[in-house]
A and B are shown apart, each in its own frame.
Chain A
């Protein structure tokens, strides 16, 4: 065995491979414990107390919300606003006491951010200003963006982005700007831009900041981006009237999708190694290519067999390539 092999870190996969021929069940179990893959007493302690904490706080907050929902009509308007504001202040007090770095502090800041939305909803209900729902989400986003910036909290980043997306979608739907296919294209392209900027920021800083090393958030962003990009491409492929294709938002859809796909393939293969994102990208590409083939080359039911074969070929090529990439990373 080379020195390099001996100094390689133990992986779970390697231990399981050893189990087939070289080590007994008891030896494998002990290896998993020594390597830290099975939890020790401290891990159980953390797991139990964090689980009880998060679940307990969630249930109490939900209970409080239900309580006020029940008594809502009989409360005075100042009481309604005051209670929610008190909740926000109490949460912020807890954050100051526990600190932003603690789990309790992060959970309380998240709760405070949710209560800001509740406050705006109550305000809009009491003072019937005639404002549209999207204005609530816009206000909510701007009120909590400062906390999001300082919180080092992935959950809060996700919440802020979700609120922003809802604000844009509702804004365009409620102002009657999405009716025809090209308008939907335009909306999806704006949503793409909204997800793309945070993705770039996240991936730029993730190697430097510990709290940004989680991968679920950029993966959700990429999933959303692909979802929002594939739809305009589908509109381009399947648009029934030539009129729709005259609009720039429809015409640039394939270009935007192609550029973004190429970017994903390059970035997540050479710069940041993420097999999940590359796989999602391959699935999206298979969908787009197959739909294009189906629309432009399938004229009768007899041609559907070729579409079936095309899907198999694409998936095979994708899985071969993904395996090669993955093996290259794990060597």
Chain B
């Protein structure tokens, strides 16, 4: 999932610079130089190829299920559970034990087959178990357990991306079923903390054996968090009646605190002192944002991910954040219980405030530059 970008540094220049800064010794440099040709050949597939594989696997799985139910191959909850288990285990076996490096092309076909089997198997297991248990609580708990198990057992990027999202969805259904919707205000900060931690520690993750799994989890948690925050943007009467989630300001406060901590860390990494003017600018802007959006944690969540994405130089994360930000902002103003005149004044006021903040920021930057010069 890494963006393939080229730096202006050549490999040799970078290694020499690292050696000068004593982050690399001479022996380490030689080892790296010897391994570069093989590393240049080894890359994982770009995300778009994986997206194609995922789409096709879903399509194949759905067609198979149509066939299975249409021909009564699967008929009744027992056969659903049996076939579901068979397909899931077959998928795990194919993926884990049939990898032969010399037969990469065949492995891609096998991998495709395994993914389709995995999707079909999981759908059948959930349907079979659901028919057996017949309670939403039981089904949700089963889905959570199944997806956690598949995350570890089935080493596939698409599965590992989907599992946390499905688990989050199941948790929401569980909260709704148990009439514990307030727990959503614990889920959102938890997802936010996990997202921030995983992305801040991206370099550490890349040194781990399960780097790909953890990176996939990082993206998945971000998408899960933004997905849950979508509930704050829905003001439809029927939806509110079915899912009466109140006190969104709790999530807003938690996410604002997280954003402040992230900003603090970023500012410190650039050597900016705690009581400096930039620090107060960041603190002040965040507090103003939190005050304005206290009932719209989606905006704060999107800005958190945007700052996180930019700090890691990750275009994909920034794209997700900008899309979410635009949507949440639209719904924020759409849902305002005020007249067109009031909305227009709020919009103009907010826009003008942002332009003034920008002017103040430019002034601070120039002043800081002059002081340093």
> A: which residues have CB within 8 A of B?
1-2, 5-32, 34-39, 41, 44-45, 47-49, 52-53, 55-67, 69-71, 275-276, 279, 282-283, 286, 290, 301-302, 304-305, 307-309, 311-316, 318-320, 322-323, 326-327, 330-331
Contacts and interface: CB of A to CB of B under 8 A. Distances in A.
B57 A70 contact: no
A9 B21 contact: no
B11 A313 contact: no
B4 A11 contact: yes
Interface in B32-53: 32-37, 39-43, 45-46, 48-49, 51-53
Nearest to B215: A16
Contacts of B9: 9-10, 34-36
Nearest to A71: B341
A11 to B, nearest CB: 6
Given A47-B310, A52-B358, A308-B60, A16 B206 contact: yes
Considering the complex of A and B, which 3 residue pairs feature the smallest CB-CB distances, nearest first? A63-B347, A59-B351, A315-B56
A286 B56 contact: yes
B254 to A, nearest CB: 23
A314 B56 contact: yes
A27 B5 CA distance: 19
Contact of B48 (A45, A58, A275): A275
A35 B17 CA distance: 11
Interface string B160-173: 00000000000000
Main secondary structure of the interface of A (DSSP, over half): helix
Interface centre among B21, B43, B353 (most CB of A within 10 A): B43
Contact of B11 (A5, A22, A66): A5
A308 B65 CA distance: 9
B52 A9 contact: no
A273 to B, nearest CB: 12
Contacts of A58: 351
B313 interface: yes
Given A60-B355, A316-B109, A322-B49, A1 B33 contact: yes
A53 B116 CA distance: 47
A264 B204 CA distance: 41
Interface stretch (B23-31, B122-130, B231-239): B23-31
A322 B45 CA distance: 9
A30 B60 contact: no
A265 to B, nearest CB: 15
A14 B39 contact: yes
Contacts of B93: none
A25 B21 CA distance: 15
B17 A34 contact: yes
Interface stretch (B66-74, B75-83, B175-183): B66-74
B14 A56 contact: no
A70 B49 contact: no
Nearest to A54: B354
Given A301-B67, A327-B41, 4 more contacts: A15-B206, A66-B340, A309-B60, A330-B40
A268 to B, nearest CB: 13
Contact of B41 (A32, A52, A331): A331
Contacts of B206: 15-16, 19-20, 25, 28
Contacts of B343: 63, 66
Interface string B12-26: 101001100101100
B36 A5 contact: yes
Interface in B186-244: 203-204, 206-207, 209, 211
A314 B345 CA distance: 55
B28 A308 contact: no
A31 B14 contact: yes
Interface in B329-373: 333, 339-341, 343-355, 357-358, 361-362, 365
Contacts of A307: 63
Nearest to A286: B56
Contact of B46 (A37, A275, A301, A320): A275
A279 B49 contact: yes
11 contacts: A7-B10, A8-B11, A10-B14, A12-B3, A14-B11, A14-B36, A32-B313, A62-B351, A283-B55, A301-B66, A305-B67
B37 A2 contact: yes
B4 to A, nearest CB: 6
B66 A304 contact: yes
A20 B39 CA distance: 11
A49 B361 contact: yes
Contacts of A26: 23, 203
A25 B59 contact: no
Contacts of A318: 52, 56
Given A6-B12, A11-B5, A49 B112 contact: no
